[in-house]
């Protein structure tokens, strides 16, 4: 259903919080046949979600698909979403938000792992040899929505109309209305170090109590707490939110304990500002102490087209006239007019240009 205020139906960005989620990031092979296969696949996604989802009524199966900046240019060319750019890195040394390869993301959610598994299988089958999976994470609900580090995660998320307001592009980029941006990072935790901290120290790091999940009073909460550094206000003092659906994952037998961070917004800037605050610090040096126990091992930024645009992209021919709803089914392609650098070329140092929320 399209909310009344929206002209284009979003993908299931703000779908219900589920018990299970798969995150698949893939690169698309460089040949024209692979690109044509990925474009054609865009029209299949909704049908596959419907077909697989029907098998378990109430299973809440959904899938969100997004494309990186480089992939967008190669697959679809102009016009392009205004805010789409390669992942911006923040921080340095041990504390760095790194960019890693990835053209395509699938965020699959359901209340049962078998539904996620079956949909992922069907989606990958259609893509066949056109892509190479570079990261795949299977996340699970951890008791009462506890992150791997034992704190409830997702409490301050916007809901309902507020979630739509903060995640769905509207008049600011009319051609891409109904779309969103999604930023992902896979984190690995030093659980030994984290668990060695007294609970009170952990609470200062997060900015909330551990058992009851209540925000600490301002006079107790350090300015370097995760909650302080990720709370943003606009110029008028109104809070700017993002929508997160992080999931714990891991392999205890291998000593792997992680959090898959996934944040949706109608502009990448607020999420990037949070990353800058966390990794560089606000002011610089006053960084997020959660990062003393958590290392980001992947990073990607993707544009999530509206549902109708995702389907129409199947017919997009890069370099052709800029129209979204084309009705011919050509499988040929010319090179995009404005191809940007490959994913390896990152906007490192772009920190300076980023607007600030003070």
Q: Which of 70, 103, 118, 153 binds ligand HEM (CB under 6 A)?
A: 153
153 catalytic per annotation: yes
The residue among 352, 276, 223, 339 whose CA lies nearest residue 92 is: 276
Task: Using CB under 6 A, count the residues that bind ligand HEM.
Answer: 26
Among the residue ranges 27-35, 79-87, 152-160, 166-174, the one whose residues contact ligand HEM (CB under 6 A): 152-160
Judged by CB, which is closer to ligand HEM: 112, or 350? Answer: 350
Secondary structure E strands in the chain: 20-28, 62-67, 90-92, 95-97, 104-110, 131-140, 180-189, 232-233, 239-240, 243-244, 247-251, 256-265, 294-296, 300-304
Contact between 263 and ligand HEM per CB under 6 A? yes
Residue listed under structure tokens 């990072």: 185
Q: Which of 37, 168, 184, 274 binds ligand HEM (CB under 6 A)?
A: 274
Distance in angstroms (rounded) separating the CA atoms of residues 54 and 253: 35
User: What three-state secondary structure class fits 225?
Assistant: coil
CB of 218 to ligand HEM, least distance (A): 12
| Longest Cα–Cα distance in the chain | 63
Tell whether the torsion through CA atoms of 150, 259, 264 and 307 is positive or negative.
negative
Q: Which of 147, 164, 184, 312 binds ligand HEM (CB under 6 A)?
A: 147
Q: Which residue is nearest to ligand HEM (CB)?
A: 156
x-marked contacts with ligand HEM along 217-256 as a string, rule CB under 6 A: ---------xx--xx----------x-x------------
CA within 13 Å, CB half, 139? 29
Name the residues annotated as catalytic: 153
Applying CB under 6 A, the residues found at the interface with ligand HEM are 147, 149, 151-156, 185, 187, 206, 208, 226-227, 230-231, 242, 244, 259, 261, 263, 271, 274-275, 290, 294
């Amino acid at each position: 259903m399209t909310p009344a205020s929206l002209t284009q139906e979003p993908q299931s960005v703000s779908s219900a919080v589920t018990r299970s989620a798969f995150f698949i990031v893939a690169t698309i092979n460089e040949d024209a046949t692979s690109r044509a296969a990925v474009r054609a696949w865009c029209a299949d996604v909704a049908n596959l979600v419907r077909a697989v989802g029907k098998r378990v009524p109430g299973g809440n199966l959904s899938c969100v698909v997004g494309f990186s900046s480089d992939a967008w240019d190669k697959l679809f060319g102009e016009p392009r979403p205004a805010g789409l750019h390669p992942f911006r890195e923040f921080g340095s040394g041990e504390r760095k938000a790194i960019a890693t390869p990835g053209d395509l993301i699938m965020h699959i959610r359901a209340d049962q792992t078998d539904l996620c598994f079956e949909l992922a299988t069907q989606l990958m089958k259609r893509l066949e040899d056109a892509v190479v999976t570079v990261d795949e994470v299977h996340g699970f609900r951890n008791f009462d929505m506890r992150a791997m580090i034992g704190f409830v995660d997702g409490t301050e998320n916007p809901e309902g109309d507020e979630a739509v307001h903060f995640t769905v592009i509207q008049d600011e980029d009319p051609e891409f209305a109904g779309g969103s941006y999604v930023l992902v990072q896979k984190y690995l935790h030093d659980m030994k170090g984290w668990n060695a901290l007294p609970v009170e120290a952990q609470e200062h790091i997060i900015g909330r109590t551990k058992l009851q999940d209540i925000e600490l009073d301002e006079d107790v909460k350090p300015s370097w707490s995760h909650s302080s550094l990720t709370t943003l206000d606009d110029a008028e003092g109104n809070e700017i939110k993002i929508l997160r659906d992080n999931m714990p994952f891991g392999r205890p037998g291998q000593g792997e304990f992680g959090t898959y961070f996934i944040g949706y917004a109608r502009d990448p800037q607020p999420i990037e500002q949070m990353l800058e605050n966390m990794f560089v610090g606000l002011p610089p040096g006053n960084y997020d102490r959660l990062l003393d126990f958590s290392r980001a091992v992947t990073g990607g930024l993707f544009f999530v087209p509206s549902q109708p645009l995702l389907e129409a992209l199947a017919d997009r021919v890069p370099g052709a006239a800029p129209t979204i709803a084309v009705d011919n089914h050509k499988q040929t392609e010319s090179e995009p007019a404005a191809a940007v650098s490959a994913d390896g070329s990152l906007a490192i140092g772009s920190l300076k240009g980023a607007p600030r929320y003070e």
